[in-house]
Structure 1
């Protein structure tokens, strides 16, 4: 890599190595049939697949999955960029028409959906009834704790992060990925495999903006609160309000904006 600094003497350019965030495709198969391909940062791929299936409403508990394993793909050499999931006999098979088989980039979690109605999957968890209360002072500490857990970001500067916190601000798990939706799926997949669903009394913190699909994923896992360091979208706010979730944006330093469910944030 050539680094250029116009403010430096002697031309301001030099060659040096650089660390880059890895990005590779992951194919998710259900009962040997391809369901989706997502561009992701390798690592925690089983959690990613489990979280994706949870977000899509195909599974609701770890017991719905008989096996989930990384498989060798068709690449030479094999990159093991395939996760094959076998669902329990009691789980209905996924819809097989092509409108439900989609490719997702690292920047969009719902690009291939046939319509907005297909995205708006209903959660089986009643997050509106969650009695969670979190002091604003505790929320203000979460971005720093998430940032401290972003080890790969320190090297590359190119990854999103998501983390699960308790109501007292205890970090339970954090994940990084080139895709913000993948980072969330990895967190939710971990929670599902750990038997923690629904995530009553927990907070999901993300390093970027609060988009519709991240709010949707949080709802599907039974999370009562989603907090982000950046802005929410209009659809994210509408969905959070509809679901009875608390949505916090621009969580930076000592300030934050609460866009839905303000009663859960105490001052």
Structure 2
């Protein structure tokens, strides 16, 4: 399988000195996802957990909902200059009861590590409706638990410790127990890997769970969370306006700037249990 990290020489400059040394970088390579032998999308990702990534990606596209929607996911033959398999092409075979993805969902360009919706064939295909009633999810999360999730996720980021160059996503229970953490150069890929893990574990929809991400909360991350049935999305950095709009539309709790013991709640504040002696959070 592909490597998660790679070593490259660097010249370090600072404090009046110049030194040469090796540095550890996060690996970024393309993964072509095929559905039934037909090219569907190419995403730039960190190798590892590719089967989870493909499953989660198809959940986020509204193609599959359950583990039995997929018959198999296999690497296709693809070699580098030495003749070794690159493990950069994965073909997903859908079950007979699952209709193939429509042409409007196909990506006309590759998806970079910073873009989760690039290359959609139509504007209508960008917004995919969730099949779950997220607004009805009664889960409640203590404010102190939510504030501590970034630190819990950070402790699970092994690739970040070595490279400083990957995003992370973590799936938590309402009491702050980490169920699954995944890293990738693409924030959307990290989320897809977590959702793919949950799908393969038969956990979808993810009612009563919290998704913590290491960066900002963009529209595509909010949509991926919604399509997995996740009621609470928490981000270390800022949300986008469209992410907030989507969260309000589907009834998702969206928290941003979750760091240093504080956070902002942009949608669904009624799910957050306020600290002792504090006023209850107003519904939004």
The aligned runs of 1:78-89 (5 Å cut-off) are 78-89=85-96
Native 8 Å contact 1:163 1:205 kept in 2 = yes
**Residue aligning to 2:146:** 139
**Residue aligning to 2:15:** 7
**Residue aligning to 1:224:** 231
Native 8 Å contact 1:197 1:222 kept in 2 = yes
Partners of 1:116 and 1:264 lie apart in 2 by: 32
Partners of 1:126 and 1:32 lie apart in 2 by: 33
Matched, 1:91 2:61: no
Offset at 1:115?
A: 3.7
Native 8 Å contact 2:253 2:268 kept in 1 = yes
Matched, 1:251 2:258: yes
**Residue aligning to 2:60:** 55
SS at match of 1:238: helix
Offset at 1:61?
A: 0.7
Match 1:161 to one of 160, 168, 179: 168
Partners of 1:51 and 1:196 lie apart in 2 by: 12
Match 1:170 to one of 155, 177, 186: 177
**Residue aligning to 2:40:** 35
Matched, 1:186 2:183: no
Native 8 Å contact 1:224 1:244 kept in 2 = yes
State TM-score, norm by structure 2: 0.90
Partners of 2:156 and 2:46 lie apart in 1 by: 16
Partners of 1:247 and 1:108 lie apart in 2 by: 20
State TM-score, norm by structure 1: 0.96
Match 2:77 to one of 72, 77, 81: 72
Offset at 1:34?
A: 0.7
SS at match of 1:169: coil
Classify 1:182/1:138 alpha carbon distance in 2 versus 1 (closer, same or farther; 3 Å): same
Matched residues, number: 264
Offset at 1:96?
A: 3.5
Partners of 1:132 and 1:98 lie apart in 2 by: 32
SS at match of 1:4: strand
Offset at 1:93?
A: 1.0
Offset at 1:98?
A: 8.7
**Residue aligning to 1:21:** 26
Matched, 1:215 2:259: no
Describe the superposition over 1:99-146 as per-residue Cα deviations: whole angstroms up to 9, x where unpaired: 644410011011111343211100101100000100100011100000
SS at match of 2:258: strand
Measured on the aligned residues, the alpha-carbon RMSD in Å equals: 1.3
Match 1:197 to one of 204, 215, 226: 204
